[in-house]
Structure 1
Amino acid sequence: MDRRTFLQLGAAGLSLPAFGPSLYAAASDKPPRVALIGCGWYGKADLLRLIQVAPVEVVGLCDVDSTMLAEAAALVKERQRSDKAPPTFRDYRDLLKQTQPEIILIATPDHWHALNAIAAIEAGADLYLQKPISVDVVEGEAILAAARKHGRVVQVGTQRRSTPHLIEARDQILKEGKLGKIGVVEIYCYYHMRARGNPPDIAPPENLDYELWTGPAPMRPYNELVHPRRWRAYMEYGNGIVGDMCIHMLDMVRWMMDLGWPSTVSSSGGILVDKESRSNISDTQTATFDFGGLPVIWQHRTYGHPADPKYPWGATFYGDKGTLKCSVMGYDFTPFGKGEAVHRDVVYELEQYPEDQTEKDLEKHVAPAIRGHMLDFLKARESRGRPVADIEQGHISTASCILANMAMELGRTLAWDPATGRIRNDDEANRRLQRPYREPWTHPVPAKNA
């Protein structure tokens, strides 16, 4: 069933809700003007979830891949209420100048997040910014400073904070003290997700502006691991599996337990098994984030079996009264002694949002969380308050993961000082807080230091 048929059935008086059960009620009758920068996998997923829950007008799409751009434009024309195909742009700077959006969704590769985000903020837009917010720590500080200086609302795409069953686990298990004293939290990912193989260097495809795609990152020879979707194979564009998967679980634990910055971060690992692949990210890594005596311990392996097949990616909270396991697919609480175990599965919304059933590559189990995250973002825009995944929280979780990779590279524990935004007594580590940019791009600095 396409969107028009769905609307017609609703208008005919059937029991189907026209735009799902939690339509955003805007204070203004004028739909907010929305643009998307980065029209790949998750950019489309985010934008189409926003269209589902709110009356928005998509005024522009931007991508350096013309094929992706055309696919996204066709989808938006089919799904948005106006039935209009939005204008398309190759360069985000042209989109900002010509469309003047009020809301911008950013889902570019990580190495572009900082420049995209700061330009959008300075253009007057509120942001839905995919995680991790940055590739280096100073980039994150600069985005946060820009958002605060210009009074913009920025929601980071760490949507575990808007996942219904995880909200229940936080409120009904953790907050009610059913775990007792929590001594340690383990977070982990055992997906075999690291790119493998040795594809040859080739000319970039004609549909891709590879110079602009590379932007401020080092220029590497093009091969099929770079684009689309497998660019995380290289540290030049992101922070590996820690920056991709650990950030979700670390941020979830911080939110559920109301934690701030870790006091110290240590890490070890590397490429220990798959030494033949061209990928330069770790296939094995352990990191410990110490929150004042509470260790949160991360592990990933891109080979072998998960410790618990039901929880290949998740978090386990160990308390003296019970254990709580959480993932995107559900949660399990197991008490010690008397008490009832609790199991919950993720709730899908396929009947309310039938287009979810056929949308290409959509993570159907995550769609409700994205919709909830979008609704929270829209409400924060109305109140001019802070959304649940505010940019400051995104910066803390992102920077903590960056520090883990730095600790592994340097072979020592890093002690973070949130007051100064520096690593204590470690000049070499502090020099790594800001990576070099490829000319002619200029690395942003926090507005207070500009």
Structure 2
Amino acid sequence: MTNSRRKFLASASAIAAGAAILPKSLSAFPKIRTAADNIRVGAIGVHGMGWSDLTAILKNPGVECVALCDVDKNVLDKRVAELSAKGATVKAYADYRKLLEDKNVDAVVIGTPDHWHCLMMVEACKAGKDVYVEKPIGNSIAECRAMVAAQQKYKRVVQVGQWQRSQKHFRDAMEFVHSGKLGKIRLVKVWSYFSWVTPITKLPDEKVPAGVDYDMWLGPAPKRPFNPNRFHFNFRWFWDYAGGLMTDWGVHLLDYALLGMKADIPNSIMAAGGKFESPNSGAETPDTLTTVYEFNDFNIQWEHAIGIDGGPYSRQHGIAFIGNNGTLVLDREGWEVIPEGKRMEAVPVQKSSDNGLDLHATNFIEVVRSRKMEDLHAPVQVGADIAVFAQMGNIAFRTGKKIYWDKQKGKFNDEEANKLIAKEYHNGYKFPAA
């Protein structure tokens, strides 16, 4: 982590409205766990990735699930039954705060929609729990800062669910990029083209489904009538809860663009796009987007298109480091080098050979035991860096302007953009700044 990135994120916290210092008396210091200690895990939000994360964590010896929480009783009952069938007895909670009060829980998995990540992670750290939190860690720049501050204050292990950080072929690709063999890299292209993500049809509001605590699901988000388009998987396409493909897949892929270029703060950001594939879609976030991050002597370009599979280099998703001698193309399947004429030798596809999620979960459990925070593959600072980077792209799109970040003031050069740095909390919830 470069000093400039640290200063950038530190300065961003200054503009978070209503910031307050958490009482020192509440500081929790971790117990050193040994290999003989069982690590007792609770999971909050177990419909999608939260369940996948928990399943990966439970593959590690000496780990047991003791509690589950979900606002949808239908999902909660299903997961409790699945664990019961495997011989596990767990407590079921509808309110995450009750789970955090459970002294039998050592660590928590947070797999909720994005707008809940910050509040839950901060409160989990405050309660003395270690945390595995899904990406993107925060739903605003201000939230990312609060999450970093909470981890630093309470000294908890916090792993962000950017599991590509644990895969060998991604690390090998970075080693090749850093070798200099590609020559001068002037452009990094990053993309997600997904036909499996289909536009959502506008639907009328309806009655809250039986068993769903919708008020708890909304949490700090604005109060709105229940609409099935906004619930479960599709929450991703609404600004209240998330940031579309930019924050959903962008944090995975742009993370490696920054890592490969050893980059931190862009000089400027501009973006253009919209609902081009389906103008009448029920979603808010763009189905088509191009974003350009300008640095001193190279650009990083993000693009996505919902409903299309034919991305650059015939890949649905990927990162391409385009150098004077050749281009390294990287995705979840592997990486290869395509030479520029005869300036270098081609490198055939180096295929992925491991399970990133399982390795990421094991890394989390190992650090929970060792307390060696430096061994985490995706600590909270890494998650904050890339979530902020993605948020900057969305802010450029939403303002329709080329925007610049003022490193000294910790804000943009544009007041409209600055209004999007933090999100107002609703329904009696308070922003957990530290």
Q: TM-score scaled by structure 1?
A: 0.84
Residue number in structure 2 paired with 1:32? 39
Q: What amino acid maps onto 1:339 in structure 2?
A: E
Secondary structure of the structure 1 residue equivalent to 2:241: coil
Partner of 2:120: 116
Q: Runs of 5+ in structure 2 lacking a partner?
A: 1-32
8 A Cα contact 2:136 2:387, kept in partner: yes
Select which of 362, 366, 369 maps to 1:379. Answer: 366
Check 1:370–1:92 CA distance in 2 against 1; reply closer, same or farther (3 A cut).
same
Tell me the amino acid that sits aligned with residue 418 of structure 2.
Answer: N
Pair 1:388 & 2:377 matched: yes
Kindly tell me: are residues 402 and 240 of structure 1, through their superposed partners in 2, closer, same or farther at Cα, counting changes over 3 Å? same
Could you tell me which residue of structure 1 aligns to residue 347 of structure 2?
341
Given that residues 330 and 345 in structure 1 are in contact (C-alpha distance below 8 angstroms), is that contact kept between their aligned partners in structure 2?
yes
8 Å contact kept, 2:57–2:365: no
Cα offsets for 1:320-370 (capped at 9, x unmatched): 12111111122221233142422122336xxxxxxxxxxxxxxxxxxx101
- Give a deviation string over 1:38-91, Cα, whole Å, max 9, x none: 111111111111111342121211110111112222333445xxx322111010
Deviation at 1:100, TM superposition (A): 4.6
1:370 pairs, out of 357, 361, 385, with 357
Tell me which of the two structures has the higher relative contact order, counting C-alpha pairs closer than 8 angstroms and 6 or more residues apart: 2
Is 1:175 the counterpart of 2:178? The answer is yes
Q: What residue identity is the alignment partner of 2:400? A: G
Structure 2 equivalent of residue 299 of structure 1? 303
Counterpart of 1:154 in structure 2 is: 158
Aligned partner letter, 1:401: A
1:189 counterpart (192, 204, 208): 192
Comparing 327-336 with 253-262, greater Cα deviation is found at: 253-262
CA offset at residue 420 of structure 1?
4.7
The 5-angstrom pairing of residues 353-364 of structure 1 reads none
Give the counterpart of 2:276 among 272, 275, 280.
272
1:110-166: CA deviations, max 9, x gaps?
A: 011111111101011121111111111111111111111111221111111112221
Is the 1:195–1:225 contact (alpha carbons within 8 Å) kept by the matching residues of 2?
A: no
Q: 1:418 to 1:120 in 2, by over 3 A?
A: farther
Q: CA 1:99/1:206 → structure 2, altered by over 3 Å: closer, same or farther?
A: farther
Aligned mates of 1:40, 1:402 — CA distance in 2: 25
Alpha-carbon distance between aligned partners in 1 of 2:248 and 2:83, rounded to the nearest angstrom: 27
| 1:33 shift after superposition | 1.7
1:37-116 mapped onto 2 (5 Å cutoff): 37-79=44-86, 83-116=87-120
Matching residue of 1:252: 256
Aligned positions, number: 397
Aligned-partner SS, 1:301:
strand
The separation in 2 between residues aligned to 1:125 and 1:417, in whole angstroms, is 35
Contact conserved, 2:199 with 2:281, CA < 8 A, in 1? Answer: yes
2:3 is matched with: none
| d(CA) in 2 for partners of 1:70, 1:421 | 45
The whole-number CA distance in structure 2 between the counterparts of 1:30 and 1:277 is: 51
Question: 1:136: which partner in 2?
Answer: 140
Please say if residues 36 and 60 of structure 1, whose CA atoms lie closer than 8 Å, have aligned partners that are also in contact.
Answer: yes
Alignment-derived partner of residue 219 in structure 2: 215
Q: Indicate if the aligned counterparts of 2:194 and 2:308 stay in contact, CA closer than 8 A.
A: no
What SS does the corresponding residue of 2:232 show, helix, strand or coil?
coil
Measure the CA separation in 2 of the matches of 1:134 and 1:194. Answer: 25
The whole-number CA distance in structure 1 between the counterparts of 2:159 and 2:276 is 36
**2:48 maps to amino acid:** W
Q: Is the 8 A contact 1:269 1:286 kept in 2?
A: yes
